[in-house]
Amino acid sequence: EKGTYPHYMLKEIDEQPAVMRKIIQAYQNEQGDLTIDDDIIEALRAADRLYIIASGTSYHAGLVGKQLIEKMAEIPVEVHLGSEFAYNPPLLSERPLFIFISQSGETADSRAVLVKLKEWNYPSLTITNVPGSTLSREADYTLLLHAGPEIAVASTKAYTAQLAVLSIISYVVAQNKQIHHRFDLVQELGIVATAMEALCDAKEEFEKITIEFLATTRNCFFIGRGLDYFVCLEGALKLKEISYIQAEGFAGGELKHGTIALIEEGTPVIAIDTQRNVSGNIRGNVKEVAARGANTCLIAMEGNHNSEDRYVLPEVHEWLTPFISVLPLQLIAYYASLHRGCDIDKPRNLAKSVTVE
């Protein structure tokens, strides 16, 4: 139920801190340590390479998941769109494990891949919000998102829940492999939840930013580097699907290889800067587009920020920044859709679960 909320999307954005806490609990054992089934740990450790299969927002979560798994658990990962993999599979490693990421667990493009795998006898794990869904039933293993029903077509809390479960897998496997990281994921996810709350409380600020940058525009660019780039892809998808503003996410360094030609006087460019090692680079990119007339909006993480920034994100662990940098982009998409009078929860031409290929 929507309760006092005008739209499911806004309610689901607001639920994200609570979902983080729910996931931490769901994956803690009696001692308070994060854990997943031994069978799943074994399957992950037996694999020489993981293949993540997903679509849309879940694919964007997979791109971040690859970084988390490779950094923490040190297993190589490839991320593929179901619709591409099904008809043009890459050369596989000797001992692959397939990970399906799907909020609904019903996405036909992913299922087409799963059907093939089973013929090849490869193991599979589904990460889904819906127990008993097709992808869950047909895979060998399942991990649940515990995000509660997601009703709005535009996915929000399922995305951050997917990131949380992917971080837990990475952390648990790392511990099992005796790879020790100098942080406690339970604590770091708690910090994330608190930061998310602060962002949810700052909604009016994001409504202002939306009015300032997107009131009359027909297009919008999102730029970032490293993890911020993947969040930009998600921010652009969110904006286009519910506000119908043409939006694209770019790796900052790619601008000069083509896209910068599209920058005109007043073109909105939203830049994310949470990654210390590329902060100078992305700020350089912002200057390049500003010099060509772009209306630039810099969203930076505390610690990286300086006076030209439009919004400062509370600090979280450098690997977990997508969990919070996506919230401003979800809210900007929401307000852009609201101010344009669009049907926020049910955008045109889209369905919540895509059960045809």
Q: Which of residues 226-265 bind ligand F6R (CB under 6 A)?
A: 237, 241
Task: Select 41 or 108, whichever has its Cβ closest to ligand F6R.
Answer: 108
Pairing of strands 295-301, 268-273: parallel
Q: What is the dihedral of CA 79, 82, 84, 86, to 10 degrees?
A: 120
Q: What is the DSSP letter of 70?
A: I
- Single out the residue of 16, 67, 83, 107 in contact with ligand F6R (rule: CB under 6 A): 107
Using the CB atoms, write b or e for 48-85: b if 16+ within 10 Å: eebbbbbbbbbbbbbbbbbbbbeebbebebbbbbbbeb
Q: Closest approach of Cβ 242 to ligand F6R, in Å? A: 8
Q: Which is nearer to ligand F6R, 165 or 237 (CB)?
A: 237
What track of x and - describes contact with ligand F6R for positions 108 through 137 (by CB under 6 A)? ------------------------------
Closest CA to 14 of 344, 346, 330, 337: 330
Could you give the dihedral angle defined by the CA atoms of residues 243, 245, 246 and 250, in that order, rounded to the nearest 10 degrees?
A: -80
Alpha-carbon distance 28 to 22, whole Å?
10
Residues paired with 223 in a beta bridge: 250, 271
Contact flags string 37-66 toward ligand F6R, x per CB under 6 A = ------------------xxxx--------
Is residue 337 a contact point for ligand F6R (CB under 6 A)? no
Task: Please say which residue, 12 or 309, places its beta carbon nearer to ligand F6R.
Answer: 12
- Minimum distance from CB of 114 to ligand F6R (Å)? 12
Single residue of 35, 155, 304, 321 touching ligand F6R by CB under 6 A: 155
Strand-pair category, 311-313 with 295-301: parallel
Whether residue 256 lies in the annotated active site: no
In the complex, minimum distance from the CB of residue 109 to ligand F6R, in angstroms, rounded to a whole number = 8
Q: Which residues would be at the binding site for ligand F6R (CB under 6 A)?
A: 55-58, 102-104, 107, 154-155, 237, 241, 353-354
Cite the active site residues. 352
